[in-house]
């Protein structure tokens, strides 16, 4: 079994940037295992020195140099995090200098620009999109679908809800979703509630065995979760999509990020912020 290497994601704010970029880089080393730790809000030299001591202790315990991915704006705080006992990769230090040189302009080095409430109008729009998706989840509210940017359609547990919330959070897109029930399947027409919104529909489908596994976690040994019923519902839903020209995507082996990005591009949606 391979040893586990420590990986730290350190930031003066939420840690989302360091975590996202660091995780992306580490995915290229599947043969290795990593003990991952995210440390946000390291915004003073005192805090940074405390983290540096923690990293040195981990290096001594692991007998291997940890990997440190950081996105810290303040140069003094950034420098205090660096230790010889670890490989330190600072995303600001790596890129800011090159960009300054190219633009002939010094960076402002303001903390919180990426994930703070810098523009209240954009932030309010994002929250509004999330509230819309929550109130139009799982077909619980059909009124107001004319305000939707997209309406995700698919059988129960095919990934509609998390995709809608991701679209709202990351793109500010008003995404509603409608679950295809057994009553909606087995005949040729789209559900009556969706007819007026045909051009906004986007289907999600999933492999029957994967659907069976997901549904069994909620209602084991039920007809709802049976392989035969899952196969029937998926086949009928896909047939409905094809018959009415509804674009659809198989979400079985895709992450929520991949699903959402594909929908944005294929449905020609526009990011709201």
Residue 217's CB: how many other CB atoms inside 10 A?
9
159 annotated to a ligand binding site: yes
Residue ending a domain, choose from 77, 103, 129 = 103
156 annotated to a ligand binding site: yes
Do 194 and 258 belong to one domain?
yes
**C-alpha span between 169 and 167 (Å, rounded):** 6
Do 186 and 220 belong to one domain?
yes
**C-alpha span between 29 and 42 (Å, rounded):** 27
CB 100 within 8 A of CB 106: yes
Do 260 and 137 belong to one domain?
yes
User: Phi and psi at residue 78, in whole multiples of 5°?
Assistant: -60, -45
Q: What range does the domain containing 230 cover? A: 120-267
Q: What is the pLDDT of residue 125?
A: 80
Do 80 and 209 belong to one domain?
no
Do 91 and 176 belong to one domain?
no
Helix (H) or strand (E) holding 178: strand 175-180
State yes or no: pLDDT of 271 exceeds 90.
no
State the pLDDT confidence band at 124, using cuts at 50, 70 and 90.
Answer: confident
Residue ending a domain, choose from 73, 103, 133 = 103
What tens digit of pLDDT does each residue of 33-51 get?
A: 999 999 999 999 999 999 9
160 annotated to a ligand binding site: yes
What percent of the chain is modeled with pLDDT above 70?
94
Q: What is the pLDDT of residue 116?
A: 47
What tens digit of pLDDT does each residue of 83-118 get?
A: 999 999 998 888 777 887 788 888 766 555 554 444
Q: Please name the residue that has the structure tokens 């230790």.
A: 83
What's the structural domain count of the chain? 2
> Is position 247 within any domain?
yes
User: Phi and psi at residue 125, in whole multiples of 5°?
Assistant: -65, -40
Do 97 and 141 belong to one domain?
no
What tens digit of pLDDT does each residue of 147-203 get?
A: 999 999 999 999 999 999 999 988 999 999 999 999 999 888 999 999 999 999 999
Do 130 and 256 belong to one domain?
yes
Helix (H) or strand (E) holding 73: none
71 annotated to a ligand binding site: no
116 annotated to a ligand binding site: no
Token pair recorded at residue 88:
């330190």
Q: What is the pLDDT of residue 140?
A: 72
205 annotated to a ligand binding site: no
Do 162 and 252 belong to one domain?
yes
Do 162 and 254 belong to one domain?
yes
Q: What is the pLDDT of residue 94?
A: 80
What tens digit of pLDDT does each residue of 5-27 get?
A: 999 999 998 888 889 899 999 99
Mean pLDDT for the chain overall: 89
What tens digit of pLDDT does each residue of 218-254 get?
A: 889 999 999 999 999 999 999 999 999 999 999 999 9
């Amino acid at each position: 079994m391979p040893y586990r290497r420590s990986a730290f994601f350190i930031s003066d704010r939420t840690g989302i940037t360091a975590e996202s970029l660091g995780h992306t880089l580490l995915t290229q080393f599947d043969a290795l295992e990593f003990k991952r730790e995210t440390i946000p809000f390291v915004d003073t030299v005192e805090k940074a020195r405390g983290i540096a001591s923690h990293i040195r202790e981990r290096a001594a315990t692991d007998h291997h140099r940890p990997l440190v991915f950081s996105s810290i704006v303040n140069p003094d705080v950034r420098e205090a995090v660096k230790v010889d006992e670890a490989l330190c990769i600072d995303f600001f230090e790596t890129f800011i200098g090159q960009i300054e040189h190219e633009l002939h302009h010094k960076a402002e080095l303001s903390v919180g620009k990426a994930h703070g409430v810098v523009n209240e109008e954009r932030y309010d729009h994002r929250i509004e999109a999330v509230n819309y998706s929550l109130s139009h989840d799982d077909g619980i509210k059909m009124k107001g679908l004319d305000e939707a940017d997209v309406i995700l359609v698919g059988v129960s547990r095919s990934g509609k809800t998390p995709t809608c919330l991701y679209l709202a959070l990351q793109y500010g897109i008003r995404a509603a979703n409608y679950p295809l029930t057994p009553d909606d399947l087995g005949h040729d027409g789209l559900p009556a509630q969706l007819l007026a919104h045909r051009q906004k529909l986007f289907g999600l489908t999933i492999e029957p065995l994967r659907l069976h596994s997901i549904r069994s976690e909620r209602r084991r040994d039920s007809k709802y979760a049976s392989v035969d019923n899952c196969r029937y519902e998926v086949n009928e839903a896909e047939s409905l999509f094809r018959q009415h020209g509804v674009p659809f995507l198989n979400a079985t082996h895709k992450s929520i990020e991949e699903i959402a990005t594909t929908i944005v591009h294929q449905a020609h949606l526009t990011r709201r912020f």
